[in-house]
Amino acid sequence: MNDYRRRGPSVGNVLAGVFLVLLALCLIFAGGGCTLMLLPELFKSSASFMLPFLVISVALLGGGLAAMWFGVRLIAGKYD
């Protein structure tokens, strides 16, 4: 029988995961801050020129959340 025990994540995975989590925090703060700033401006006046900026900031927020999810899974050793 092959007694294979799952080892923890490698050092490279932990470093890459920490980098991704820090990058994700920056993206979440930038995307979330811009979203919170642009939403009242969009509803205050019917300025349709704000809509592309709002879409970009929401996409940035989503990218930050995705990077956070992947970074935490990388640190936890879910990917080998």
In contact, 62 and 31? CB cutoff 8 Å: yes
What per-residue confidence (pLDDT) applies to 71?
Answer: 95
Closest by CA position to 27, among listed 58, 72, 70: 58
Dihedral-angle region of residue 26 (phi above 0 means left; psi in -120 to 50 means alpha; beta otherwise): alpha
pLDDT score, position 29: 93
Q: Of all helices (H) and strands (E), which one includes residue 63? A: helix 51-76
pTM for this model (two decimals): 0.80
State residue 80's pLDDT score.
65
Tokens of 13: 């995975």
- State residue 49's pLDDT score: 79
